[in-house]
Structures are given as structure tokens and as C-alpha cells.
A and B are shown apart, each in its own frame.
With several copies, the nearest count.
Chain A
Amino acid sequence: MDLFEYQGKTLFARMGVPVPQGSVARTPEEARAAAEEIGGRVVVKAQVQVGGRGKAGGIKLADGPDEAAAHAEAILGMDIKGHTVGVLWIEQASDIAAEWYVSFTLDRGAKRHLAMVSAKGGMDIEGVAAEDPDAVVRLHIDPVIGLTEWQARALVYRARLDRPAARAAAATLLKLYRAFVDLDCDLVEVNPLILTGTGEVVALDSKVTLDSNGFFRHKDFEDFREAFTEDPIEKLAREAGLNFIKLDGTVGIIGNGAGLVMSTLDVVSLVGGAAANFLDVGGGAGADTIRNALDVLTKDEAVASVLINIFGGITRCDLVAQGIVEALGSLDLPWPIVVRLDGTNAEEGRAILAANADEKVVPAATMREAAEKAVELAGGA
């Protein structure tokens, strides 16, 4: 789950990483009030779950409350790479002596944590890494003992951060790493981490991606979601425990297992169609899960036909068939449903459908046949 900058900073503050004082604002008036309370110069920052907001005009410096309100007026509602700005973060302007880049993430290839530090922060770090690879210092961390003090120091010295600030910088790296691990993050990125004129090290931005698998350890993290303006269909799907992503085509896809669903998308594309979505019911789906999945697709007007592709393992095909039958009885399903069942209890499932389903349900013997029928029923390629 990608957090807004201010949410990440809340977590940083909790872990002892210095961040500038600031407040959330959702209206120009709230922005003005925040600027008044902070005093002096403030920065008005669009909160979006996407990079590049600075270039897009989503970050503005204001000399006082009036200017802050005016900037807020301009930024609220702005579209930044498909994200509409609904929340602002008003924060005290910082006195910047140096801008650095820091991140902690998992290197899947090495199966270890990876720290990256650069003295060239505050700009497009991918560009820096491409043009001058030595400017981004990389160091692998053994998750068993975590970032050691010598590694934190080595990162600081090798990246050639300002030497007098080395001790403070290394201490901040250690705290950010603790946040990365203890808060179950997939990513902690700070760009820029700044050195102020008075020698303090402060996180001026935050990009934090939380691992939702770790939420059982952090009961309050689910609350972060309240700040997001989520697509209503995606929200419905999430609340039903379904993994749903909206796509651009007309064939609604329901399957079990991310690999099989991805593959179904590919085969639909191969036979000339386009998927309307990715919907993975996961392992061990029961009848209810299938009913809920079909219910989610009824909310998407782009869907012209639906393809249910199940290969039973932990999932039982008889329960899937039962869910389809229940949905037919209780929901108003406007499209034909091509169903392909294989694996655990597949025959029982097919028998249930043959006995109970109406003509909306079209059986298919293979994945390819199912894709061809669904594309045809959706109105062709």
C-alpha cells in the first residue's frame, strides 16, 4: 500500500526520524489556517501516490497564509498523472544546505535488503543512476542482523555526504532502516533527505510502501486507507477479499491464482480480445467468493462477457459452480458467462452447472476455447 507523503512522515516521526512541522489541508481555508499556525514561509504540497508532482506544479512555496491559500486553490483538484489532488500537506519551509537520496528495499535477486544512498538527492534519482552509476552507493544488508552501524557509516562515507554531518546522517539511516523493518515496509525512500543550515538531518519527503501482509502487527495501518480516494469498484472488491484491477477491455475475467489470471488475460489477448479486469479470487474460494466476484463485475459497465477460469487445487470446483448458481438466482447478471473448470472436483462442478444453470452459462473444455467463446460473446475483437 503506497502511503501519501504525510502519512509516511507520521511513521518517520514515530521512529524518531526528524521531519518538518506540518498539517493536512483539504481546502484553501484549511491551508491558510495551517500556514498561520506554522508561521513564516511554508510549502504547499500535493499528496498523490505517484512521483513527479514537483515538475507537474504540485509543490509551491508560499511566503505566508494568503499565498498558501492561493496555492492550495490552484493545486487542489489538479490532475497529476491520472491522480486527482484531494489532500495537501502544508509544512514549514526548510533551510536546505544539502540534498541526499536514501532508500531501503528488498533486492529480490539477492534476497537481501538493499540500501541506496546518494549525495545527488532532490532530483530524478533514476536519471542520476543511469548517467552516473557511482553516484548511487548500493549496499546489501543481511536481514538476519539488519543494518549495522558500520554499514550505515560506510554508506555515508562512500556516498560522500557532507563529512561534518556524517554521524547524524548515519544515525538517521539506522532509524529509517528500523522503520523499514519494524513497520513491515516494502519500500522506504527519502528524496531528499536534507542537511539544514544548522546541521540537522531531516526527511523532506517520504515514499513508503507498506506490506499489507504485515498489517496484523500494525492494527492502525488499515486507517491510512481512509485518506485515499479509492475507485468504488476496487473498494468493493477489496472489502470482499478479492484481488481486482480495472483494465481497458470488455471481457470480465475471474480466475483463481495470479498466474492463471495473468495467463487468461494473455490468452484473451492472443485470440483477439481484451480483458476488462484482473480478478483473482485466491486460493480456497468458496461459493460466496464467486458470487461476490460476479457482483463486483456487475458494477463495471464496460464488461460485455465474463470468463470464469478455475483450475481447482485448494479451490474446489463444485463450490465454484455452486457460487455461480447462487449468483444467477440472486443477482441481475447482464452478460453471458463462459465457464471453464478443471482440477479438484471439476466433474461435480460441471454437473452442478449442467443441472442448475440457465443459458447464460456457457461451458468450455479448455482455456483457449473459453477465451475464444468469451471474446466472441463480448462482440469480437
Chain B
Amino acid sequence: MAIYVDESTKLVVQGLTGREGGFHAFRNRDYGTDLVAGVTPGKGGTEVQGVPIFDTVSEAVEATGANTAMTFVPPPFAADAVLEAAAAEGIRLIVCITEGIPAQDEARVFNYLQQTTRTPLIGPNCPGVISPGKANVGIMPHEITLPGPVGVVSRSGTLTYQAVHELTTRGIGQTTCVGIGGDPVPGTSFVDVLERFQADDETEAIVLIGEIGGNAEEQAAEFIAAEVTKPVVSYIAGVTAPPGKKMGHAGAIISGSSGTAQAKQEALEAVGVTVVTDPTSIGEAVASLS
């Protein structure tokens, strides 16, 4: 098994005709992901590298049976694209890669989806999801992954790659790697992903990569204490980050003493998580679990 994406994933890409969207979508296809459709309003009826393009997501779903949507559209239109994907019957997962969506749009869309649909949204501003050997929906470099028993979840893009790389170079494979993104209002939280990894038979251990700002790691710690029986290894970035400075991710702002890397490390250690202070130690830590 795996979570979110696997062999049954049938992918429709919003913004497939764009440069970035096309580059990554076809990389995903080359990896074996079943890319069935693209959506670009006004380009319906055309096709790109054998993939049919539709004007709307619902037409794409009707014609191709797509069940997973990936959004690459520019920030001014991304919130609307997510709403469109969520409204299309048959779509069971939305992955929004777009970076730079206004926080007000994110907050409105997140709450509206919570109130009106059960379709999970991963992102925005995230690297996507890969289940090694099965499917890749996003921008993660699949070369660094390896099928295996570890679930990886992270708020950071490139840091996720680093963590996966450390695992793979030690021969430790992954069930699924999920980048939830570091924006102020991510559609999917650590807790959502932990719940799925806990329920996934093939996942034997979990790697959680956090960073300063917000309280997502503290919420994860609470959930781990209550619900997670599998071993968890964690790394938190930003130990030396200057307090109060904005570090790229709009989320990464330290407010007072809460949200610091130290506070997060302590919260996770207190519930039995193995916390490492160097991303290169993640592989070692997981290897020493067994």
C-alpha cells in the first residue's frame, strides 16, 4: 500500500500547457504516473504529447476518469482552480504546487473545502506526493526515492528531498513522501498525513520534517502521543534562524517563544519521537530504529 497516490491514480493537470506544468507532469508520466488529461481554459480540444486538453476539469473527468488533480496555474487563478477541482465529481485528491497564493485566498478556500467537501487538498506551495515505484504527483525528483517501509512528511520542499536522499543512500525505501508545503494555511496538516501513515499497513516508520513558525509540529506531537504507534524520526529546521525575521515561507515567523525550533523539538521528544539536529542524520536515525 501507499497513501494518497498509487497505481490507481489517474492524473489531470491544471496548467499542463504551461512551461513548469508541462515539464513536471511529463516527468511524472515518464515515472509511470497515469497522466490522463490536462486542463487549460480555451485550449480544450487540443492535445500535448498525446494527452488531451480540456477547457474544464469536469469535462476532463467525464472524458478520462481522472481522479487526482494537480494544479500548476499562476497565483492569481490558483484558488479558483482548486475550487474547480474540488467541485468536479470523481476527483479524490488535489495537489496544488503553485507558490505565491495570497493568504486570504488560502484561508477562504481551505475553510470552504472543509465545509463542503471531503476531497483532501495537499499544498499549496508544496512539492507534491510520491509513492516510489507507483506514482509521482508533483515536482519531487523521483531519482532519489526508493520503494520501502518509511513514510516521509514535510513542510519544506528541498529539505524533503534531502531527507529522502539520506534514506535512499542507506538503502531505506519509502512508502510515500508527502510535502504539505509551508504556507500559512496548508490544505493538509501533519496530523492528516500521520493518520494515514498510521493506518497504512506497509508503513513501518515515519519521518517528519518540520520548521520554525506556526504550531503544526506541536499539534503533530499531540496526535502522535494519542494515536501513532509507529516509530517517528523528526528534524526541525531553523534552530539558528534569527527571531522574528521572515524566512521565505510566509509561515516561518517566530512569534515569541512558541513556534521556535527548540520548542518544537521538545514537544516531539516529550512524546517519544527521535529528534535529530542535522538533516544528514535522518538516515542513521531511521536505520537504528530496527
Interface residues on A, range: 35 or more
CB <8 Å contact, B161 and A313:
yes
- Cβ contact within 8 Å between B112 and A213: no
Q: Indicate whether B44 reaches chain A with its CB closer than 8 angstroms.
A: yes
Instruction: Provide the A127-163 mask, 1 if CB < 8 A to any CB of B, else 0.
Output: 0000000000000001111001111011001100001
> Is B111 a contact of A144 with CB atoms below 8 Å?
yes
A166 & B161 in contact (Cβ 8 Å cutoff): no
A327 to B57, CA, bound (A): 44
Q: A150-B81, A211-B250 are in contact. Are A367 and B162 (CB under 8 A)?
A: yes
A366 at the interface (CB under 8 A from B): yes
The reply to whether the CB of B76 lies closer than 8 angstroms to some CB of chain A is yes
CB contacts (< 8 Å) of B104 on chain A: these are 143, 181, 184, 211, 214
The one of A111, A216, A366, A368 that contacts B107, using a Cβ cutoff of 8 Å: A111
Which residue of chain B has the shortest Cβ distance to A182 in the bound complex?
B104
Q: Is B50 an interface residue (CB 8 A)?
A: no
B99 CB within 8 Å of chain A: yes
Q: Does A84 contact B (CB under 8 A)?
A: no
A145–B112 contact, CB under 8 A?
A: yes
Q: Please indicate the chain A residues that have their CB under 8 angstroms from the CB of B75 in the complex.
A: 213, 216
| CB < 8 Å neighbour of A314 from B20, B107, B143, B185 | B20
Which residue of chain B lies nearest to A215 when distances are taken between CB atoms in the complex? B102
Task: Please tell me if A329 contacts chain B, counting CB pairs below 8 Å.
Answer: no
Chain A residues, CB < 8 A from B211: 258-259, 262
In the assembled complex, which residues on chain B have CB atoms less than 8 Å from the CB atom of A268? Answer: 240
Determine the chain A residues whose CB is within 8 A of the CB of B277 once the complex forms.
Answer: 266, 270
Is B227 in the interface zone, CB < 8 Å from A? no
Residue of B76, B84, B279 with highest tally of chain A CB at under 10 A: B279
A344 to B136, CA, bound (A): 14
Any B CB within 8 A of the CB of A191: no
Cα separation A283 to B123 with both chains bound (whole Å): 15
Say whether A356 faces chain B, with CB atoms less than 8 Å apart: no
Taking CB atoms, residues of chain A closer than 8 Å to B238 are 262-263, 265-266
* Stretch in B5-13, B29-37, B151-159, B194-202 touching the partner: B151-159
Complexed CA–CA distance, A257 and B158 (Å): 6
Q: Which residues of B, 63-88, contact A by the 8 Å Cβ criterion?
A: 75-77, 80-81, 83-84, 87
Give 1 or 0 for each of B154-190: 1 = CB within 8 Å of chain A CB.
Answer: 1111111110010000000000000000101100000
Which of A213, A311, A342, A343 is the one whose CB lies under 8 Å from B103? A213
| Alpha-carbon separation in the docked complex, A29 to B172 (Å) | 71
Report whether B77 and A213 are in contact in the complex, using a CB–CB cutoff of 8 Å: no
Residues of B within 8 A of A113 (CB): 107
Residues of chain A within 8 A (CB-CB) of B144 are 342-343
Query: Which B residues lie within 8 Å of A256 (CB)?
Result: 158
Contact check, A311 vs B158: say whether CB atoms are below 8 A apart. yes
Is the CB–CB distance between A260 and B84 below 8 Å? no
Which residues of chain B come closer than 8 Å to A342, judged between CB atoms?
144, 161-162, 165
A157→B278 contact, CB < 8 A: no
Residues of A within 8 A of B141 (CB): 312-313, 343-344
Question: Would you call B158 and A260 a contact (CB within 8 A)?
Answer: yes
* A267 interface contact, C-beta 8 A: yes
Q: A342 CB to closest chain B CB, in angstroms?
A: 6
| Residues 160-199 of chain A, each 1 if its beta carbon lies under 8 Å from chain B, else 0 | 0001001100000000000001001010000000000000
Interface contact A157-B239, CB-CB below 8 Å: no
Closest chain B residue to A163, Cβ basis? B42
Which of chain B's residues has its CB closest to A256's CB? B158
Q: Cβ of B249 and Cβ of A259 under 8 Å apart?
A: yes
CB interface residues, B 17-48, toward A, < 8 Å? 20, 24, 41-42, 44
CB distance from B50 to the nearest CB of A (A): 22
Which residue on A lies nearest to B210, using beta carbons? Answer: A259
* Contact yes or no, B158 A108, CB < 8 A: no
Q: Is B3 an interface residue (CB 8 A)?
A: no
Docked complex: B99-115 residues within 8 A CB-CB of A: 99-104, 107-108, 110-112, 115
Q: Which residues of chain B come closer than 8 Å to A263, judged between CB atoms? A: 156, 159, 162, 235, 237-238, 279
Q: How far is the CA of A217 from the CA of B154 in the complex (A)?
A: 31
Report whether A266 and B240 are in contact in the complex, using a CB–CB cutoff of 8 Å. yes
Interface status of A278 (Cβ within 8 A of chain B): yes
A260→B182 CA distance, assembly (Å) = 12
Chain A residues within CB distance 8 Å of chain B? 106, 108-109, 111-113, 142-145, 148-151, 153-154, 157-158, 163, 166-167, 181, 184, 186, 211, 213-214, 216-217, 243, 245, 247, 255-263, 265-270, 275, 278, 280, 282-284, 310-315, 342-344, 366-368
Q: Could you list 28 A-B pairs, sorted by A, with CB under 8 Å?
A: A106-B107, A108-B184, A108-B213, A108-B216, A109-B215, A112-B111, A143-B108, A143-B110, A148-B83, A149-B77, A150-B83, A154-B84, A157-B59, A184-B103, A211-B250, A213-B103, A245-B247, A259-B159, A262-B241, A263-B237, A263-B279, A266-B238, A266-B240, A342-B162, A343-B144, A367-B280, A368-B278, A368-B280
Residues of B within 8 A of A (CB): 20, 24, 41-42, 44, 55-59, 75-77, 80-81, 83-84, 87, 99-104, 107-108, 110-112, 115-116, 127, 139-141, 143-144, 154-162, 165, 182, 184-185, 209, 211-216, 219, 235, 237-242, 245-252, 277-280
Q: List the 3 shortest-distance A-B pairs measured between CB atoms, nearest first.
A: A259-B156, A258-B248, A257-B158
Given A109-B214, A142-B116, A259-B159, 15 new contacts (CB under 8 A): A108-B184, A108-B215, A112-B107, A211-B102, A213-B250, A217-B76, A245-B246, A245-B247, A257-B248, A258-B247, A260-B158, A263-B156, A282-B248, A311-B165, A344-B141
